[in-house]
């Protein structure tokens, strides 16, 4: 038999060793052990439940970025989305009209513009008859205007040459001189007009009137103004919205530049 004193010594040694291990693991565990409790791993604190926000319906638009809402679109949202994607956006009453006819019917109608009635738009554009002129008429008016301008410049050059021969200080009305300020051009014109003979003055006045008259019907200015108005009218009032969107895309990427000299008169034919 072991001696009682030896037994107590061994028991004390085991207890001291156990306390040392527990102390190394942490004060909280050591306190639990010292109190005679069972040592268990500490449970993580419970997280507070956070209420998820209720998703709101978002109407998609052509300018909206990062639209990732997985909530199914309502019928009205689908209609607004189609009006934005297939046209220039909903006009007053468009959503109700598409809802009444059905979204599928509206899309099919946009894919068949030849079946739509756009007579109201055409009636409004009838105020611009130049949009219906043939290519030959547009080009003829354009070159008539150029011819009138060339005749006027020829007469101005004749007067300026005579003034220079007489020792007067005047600049020739060449294209590079015409690029100057309006004040400088006006000063040169007044000097020429004062130095012109009575016959030359009459010719200058007649040419200027003719050029102004032809300028109002040439294939550049009037056609350019008419095309600008027509584009806005069709984009806002035409029932064939998809057709107008595609026409605008074509015109901005593969079309005739309206600033490209004599080709500008063909812009009318290209747009229609």
Whether residue 169 is found in the same domain as residue 191: yes
Neighbours of 51 (CB within 10 A): 5
Examine residue 36 and state whether it is found in any structural domain, yes or no: no
227: nearest Cα among 118, 88, 131: 131
Rounded to two decimals, what is the model's pTM?
A: 0.51
Whether residue 239 is found in the same domain as residue 211: no
The confidence score (pLDDT) of residue 235 equals 93
Rounded CA separation 182/180 (Å): 7
| Overall domain count for the chain | 3
Q: CB under 8 Å to 173, separation ≥6 — which residues?
A: 153, 156, 157, 160, 185, 188, 189, 192
Structure tokens at 267: 């812009």
Examine residue 191 and state whether it is found in any structural domain, yes or no: yes
Whether residue 149 is found in the same domain as residue 199: yes
Rounded CA separation 18/15 (Å): 5
Whether residue 234 is found in the same domain as residue 256: yes
Mean pLDDT computed over 170-187 = 58
Whether residue 224 is found in the same domain as residue 202: no
Whether residue 245 is found in the same domain as residue 129: yes
Query: For the chain, what percent of residues have pLDDT higher than 70?
Result: 61
Neighbours of 263 (CB within 10 A): 12
The confidence score (pLDDT) of residue 25 equals 45
Cβ 170 vs Cβ 203: under 8 Å? no
Examine residue 161 and state whether it is found in any structural domain, yes or no: yes
Whether residue 87 is found in the same domain as residue 204: no
Whether residue 163 is found in the same domain as residue 200: yes
The half-sphere exposure of 193 on its side-chain side, counting CA atoms within 13 A, is: 10
The confidence score (pLDDT) of residue 39 equals 46
Examine residue 50 and state whether it is found in any structural domain, yes or no: no
The confidence score (pLDDT) of residue 32 equals 45
Tally of helices (H runs) and strands (E runs) in the chain: 13, 0
Examine residue 59 and state whether it is found in any structural domain, yes or no: no
The confidence score (pLDDT) of residue 162 equals 77
Q: Which has the higher per-residue pLDDT, 176 or 268?
A: 268
CA–centroid distance for 231 within its chain: 15
Examine residue 198 and state whether it is found in any structural domain, yes or no: yes
Whether residue 81 is found in the same domain as residue 201: no
* Range of the structural domain that residue 168 is part of: 141-215
Whether residue 94 is found in the same domain as residue 208: no
**C-alpha distances in Å from residue 90, one per residue of 84, 197, 240:** 7, 64, 13
Residue 207 has pLDDT above 50, yes or no: yes
Query: For the chain, what percent of residues have pLDDT higher than 90?
Result: 24
Whether residue 204 is found in the same domain as residue 228: no
Last residue of a domain, one of 215, 241, 262: 215
Alpha-carbon dihedral angle through residues 199, 201, 204, 207, given to the nearest 10 degrees = -60
The confidence score (pLDDT) of residue 57 equals 45
Q: CB under 8 Å to 60, separation ≥6 — which residues?
A: 67, 73, 77, 80, 81, 84
Examine residue 165 and state whether it is found in any structural domain, yes or no: yes
Instruction: Give the model confidence (pLDDT) of 61-92 as tens digits.
Output: 545 555 566 788 999 999 999 999 999 999 99
Mean pLDDT computed over 99-105 = 96
The confidence score (pLDDT) of residue 87 equals 95
Last residue of a domain, one of 200, 215, 230: 215
Examine residue 253 and state whether it is found in any structural domain, yes or no: yes
Whether residue 94 is found in the same domain as residue 128: no
């Amino acid at each position: 038999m072991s001696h009682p004193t030896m037994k107590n010594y061994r028991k004390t040694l085991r207890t001291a060793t156990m306390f040392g291990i527990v102390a190394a693991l942490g004060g909280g565990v050591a306190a639990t052990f010292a109190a005679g409790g069972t040592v268990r791993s500490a449970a993580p604190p419970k997280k507070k439940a956070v209420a998820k926000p209720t998703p709101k319906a978002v109407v998609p638009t052509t300018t909206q970025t990062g639209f990732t809402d997985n909530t199914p679109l309502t019928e009205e949202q689908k209609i607004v989305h189609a009006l934005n994607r297939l046209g220039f956006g909903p006009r007053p009453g468009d959503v109700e009209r598409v809802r009444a006819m059905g979204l599928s019917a509206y899309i099919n109608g946009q894919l068949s513009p030849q079946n739509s009635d756009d007579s109201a738009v055409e009636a409004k554009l009838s105020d611009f008859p130049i949009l219906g002129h043939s290519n030959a008429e547009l080009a003829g008016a354009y070159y008539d205007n150029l011819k009138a301008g060339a005749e006027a410049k020829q007469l101005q050059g004749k007067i300026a040459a005579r003034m220079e021969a007489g020792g007067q200080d005047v600049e020739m009305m060449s294209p590079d001189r015409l690029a100057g300020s309006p004040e400088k051009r006006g000063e040169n014109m007044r000097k020429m007009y004062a130095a012109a003979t009575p016959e030359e003055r009459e010719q200058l006045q007649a040419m200027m009137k003719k050029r102004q008259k032809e300028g109002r019907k040439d294939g550049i200015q009037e056609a350019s103004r008419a095309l600008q108005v027509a584009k806005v009218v069709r984009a806002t009032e035409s029932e064939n919205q998809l057709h107008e969107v595609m026409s605008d895309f074509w015109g901005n990427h593969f079309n005739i530049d309206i600033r490209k000299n004599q080709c500008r008169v063909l812009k009318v034919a290209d747009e229609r």
